Structure 1
Amino acid sequence: MATKSAFHVIVLGPNGGPREDRVTGLLVRSTSMKWTPGSAVAVDAGTLLAGIIRLLSQNSHEFQNEKGLVVDGPFEGLELPYRTPEANAAHIFREVIGAVLITHPHLDHISGLAINTPILEAGSGPKPVAALPSVLSAIKNHMFNDVIWPNLSDEDGGAGLLTYQRLVEGGNPRFGLGEARGYVRACNGLLTKCLSVSHGRCKQRFHPESGTHHRIGSAVFADQLMLPSRAISVDHTDASFYSPARSPRLVPSNPKEPVLAMVESSAFFLRDHCTGSEIIVFGDVEPDSVSLEPHNRRVWEAAAPKIVAGTLRAIFIECSYNDSIDDAYLYGHMCPRHLVSELKVLATKVLEASDASTGGEKKRKREDTRFSEAGAEQVSPRSKRTQSIAADKERRSEPPAEAQNSSAVVDEQPDAAKDEPIDDAPDVDEANALDSARWANLNPLPLAGLSVYIIHIKESLSDGPPPGDQILRELQAHGEEAHLGCEFHIPNPNEGIWI
């Protein structure tokens, strides 16, 4: 199985708390690079060394020979040079992990990075930490700041164990060619591109001198010592913590009242340099239907052509709660009904991308589709997808004129304006308004062949079945009703995922 796969993913931390030893953390590598130095990237680091040690301890009996070659389990194929799981975990962090990608600066995504970084002193150089500028600003000013934790970075006179790599939101067009345009190196064998998404809302107050934002209720002393951070801090004085429903106003009626702001998170596109295959790893994210600044649609628009081309293999995305949660208590997270609604938007974008790829050959494709349904064995799955979707798109009415004009206006904006956040939230829940019955008879379905792995499940710490069991059942039921065609999975942390 591994020999046919482009990606090897190890889920170190599958959950979103409250246990501190299993919070978010993944390792990703290209199978073309084997287990060579700098061949893996960590995506988030709530759990890092602790997760590696746990997995190595559980699979220690799988060493095949005296060289320490692992023949099964999540670290299959890795030669471990030491006897103990602890020493081998330190080796993996120092030498095998080439960089750490951080989706957003919440503790359950960065705490392992802080605690683990001192062991890099015995390594060969600073470890790159790559993220959006706002994320790195928060980490720099509020964690590695010689107050919360020593400054272990190579900036501002720090120890030099970490080096910050500030990513261009949406990709850097100066790098890459063709389909890899905008991608930058993540580690040996992997490229990455980062898009901003919303992880709920918080209150902020603008500081007129520094041009920054800070926590409501801060003392004057904090105002005077304001660090140049773009990070958003949270007011804990009322019940509005990340609630998407309790603070509906973008502009306060009272000038002294704080303005609501988006909590920025990220979606990383990871591209295998050898095959061109890709996966997407989301940080914490909320549905566009409740967001102050809907950003998910941009991710789906970028992903759809890759699904049509057959290069996007999997999505790792959070689904923290089951459907019993009310929207007012999502706190910037997903539940099954909202995740499937988001995937319905992706399915619609796939239809549009497939139609665009067929050009003026819709009629011929429609005829070919009828033929392929009679003799399916003569047509490849990818060809069937294009033909069936094209025929279905032809039967649907064209979008309204105002939608076409709106798209044209966006295209005419200057480059600087294109990078600004999109805050034109729809008046209705676009995802739920989609009529998935219009693609119900397609063969294959729009998201056929796509695997969706669920991470960041909130643990209940109570008797009874794991929360993921109900979440998975609800996702599968919603997905079948929506005729998506994708497969939902809850990762097993004791097994590697080959994609």
Structure 2
Amino acid sequence: MFKISSEAVLKKYIKGYLISHAHLDHVAGLIINSPADSSKTIYAITSCMEMMQKHYFNGETWANFGDKGNGYLIKKYHYQILNPEEETPITNTTMTVKAFPLSHVNPFESTAFLIKNTDAYALYLGDTGSDTTEKSDKLHLLWTAIAPLIKNKQLKGIFIEVSFPNEQEDAQLYGHLTPNYLLKELHSLSELTGKNALKGFKIIITHMKPPAENFLKIKAQLKRQNDLGLEFIFPEQGKRFEL
């Protein structure tokens, strides 16, 4: 089997970074690998980009590998602000991206990215709570925007987090989803698309938090509660899947 080195992936195949929010578990790899990386663009909404510049690439916590901010500017990374719901080309690719704000412990913002390549789309959501627990309408607005793409079979799949099993109390969700809340949100989506439109639709589950027993619980609960006929995919590192 042909193998690609990690260095080649980092320097050649990764064309840019879409940062949903600046919590350390989402940016630590980017920061630590920055000295060995090639020049490329970081894409984020304004609030996320400001956190990246203020707390990480600031010349103190870490060298400033960006082209703006404090300290000596190494200028390896170009900072590209994403304006919500505005289509932005992804440099050195044929893709574009639209950003949609999410609520991750309201009023803290995370981001969903709708990525387009020709006439096909994929949707990735950063960390998000449900509209119910966050007392927000951000997921409803996102579902409204993407429902036509599902009905037209242009959206190939949704990457979305389920951090905890159903046993986790609402007060300890900290802006995350459980199987119960994911299915509640997907039922809201089905009201916009029609239930049959989601049959066989791919939902890629991300961000399952340890311990390992939680992974098994989440998988079992999603399978048991799947009354929409969805295809749940649980990615494994190093294993390829297609949408």
TM-score, length basis structure 1:
0.47
Q: How far has the Cα of 1:187 moved from its partner?
A: 4.5
Which residue identity lines up with residue 266 of structure 1 in the other structure?
T
**Is 2:76 the partner of 1:161?**
yes
Which residue identity lines up with residue 60 of structure 2 in the other structure?
V
3-state SS of the aligned residue for 2:108? strand
Task: Tell me which of 116, 140, 144 is aligned to 1:297.
Answer: 140
Task: Tell me which of 107, 113, 116 is aligned to 2:24.
Answer: 107
3-state SS of the aligned residue for 2:15? strand
* Aligned residue number for residue 191 of structure 1: 96
Question: Residues 83-482 of structure 1 correspond to what in structure 2 (within 5 A)?
Answer: 88-120=5-37, 123=38, 126-156=39-69, 157-171=72-86, 182-185=87-90, 187-201=92-106, 262-273=107-118, 276-351=119-194, 445-460=196-211, 466-480=213-227
Separation (CA, whole Å) in 2 of partners of 1:448 and 1:345: 15
* Aligned residue number for residue 236 of structure 2: 492
Q: Percent identity?
A: 29
Separation (CA, whole Å) in 2 of partners of 1:183 and 1:298: 20
Separation (CA, whole Å) in 2 of partners of 1:281 and 1:165: 18
User: Runs (4+) of structure 1 moved beyond 3 Å?
Assistant: none
Q: Is the 8 A contact 1:198 1:286 kept in 2?
A: yes
Compared with structure 1, are the counterparts of its residues 187 and 279 closer, same or farther at alpha carbon in structure 2 (3 Å cutoff)? farther
Separation (CA, whole Å) in 2 of partners of 1:315 and 1:130: 19
TM-score, length basis structure 2:
0.94
Q: Is the 8 A contact 1:312 1:450 kept in 2?
A: no
3-state SS of the aligned residue for 1:279? strand
Separation (CA, whole Å) in 1 of partners of 2:45 and 2:238: 31
Compared with structure 1, are the counterparts of its residues 186 and 161 closer, same or farther at alpha carbon in structure 2 (3 Å cutoff)? closer
Separation (CA, whole Å) in 2 of partners of 1:92 and 1:337: 36
Separation (CA, whole Å) in 2 of partners of 1:187 and 1:263: 31
Separation (CA, whole Å) in 1 of partners of 2:29 and 2:178: 26
**TM-align CA RMSD:** 1.6
Separation (CA, whole Å) in 2 of partners of 1:152 and 1:339: 37
* Aligned residue number for residue 239 of structure 1: none
3-state SS of the aligned residue for 2:142? helix
Q: Is the 8 A contact 1:186 1:192 kept in 2?
A: no
Which residue identity lines up with residue 221 of structure 2 in the other structure?
E
Separation (CA, whole Å) in 2 of partners of 1:136 and 1:306: 29
Q: How far has the Cα of 1:186 moved from its partner?
A: 5.4
Of structures 1 and 2, the one scoring higher in RCO (CA 8 A, sep 6+) is 1
Q: Is the 8 A contact 2:16 2:90 kept in 1?
A: no
Structure with greater Cα Rg? 1
3-state SS of the aligned residue for 1:348? helix
Q: How far has the Cα of 1:185 moved from its partner?
A: 2.6
Separation (CA, whole Å) in 1 of partners of 2:116 and 2:200: 17
Q: How far has the Cα of 1:458 moved from its partner?
A: 0.5
Q: How far has the Cα of 1:119 moved from its partner?
A: 1.2
Q: How far has the Cα of 1:183 moved from its partner?
A: 4.5
Instruction: Give unmatched runs, 5+ long, in structure 2.
Output: none
Q: How far has the Cα of 1:91 moved from its partner?
A: 2.3
How many aligned residue pairs are there?
A: 241
Cα deviations by residue, 1:292-342 (Å, 9 ceiling, x for unpaired): 433001110111100110111111100001111111111100000000000
Instruction: Give unmatched runs, 5+ long, in structure 1.
Output: 1-61, 64-69, 71-79, 81-87, 172-181, 202-261, 352-438, 440-444
Which residue identity lines up with residue 486 of structure 1 in the other structure?
L
Separation (CA, whole Å) in 2 of partners of 1:191 and 1:168: 13
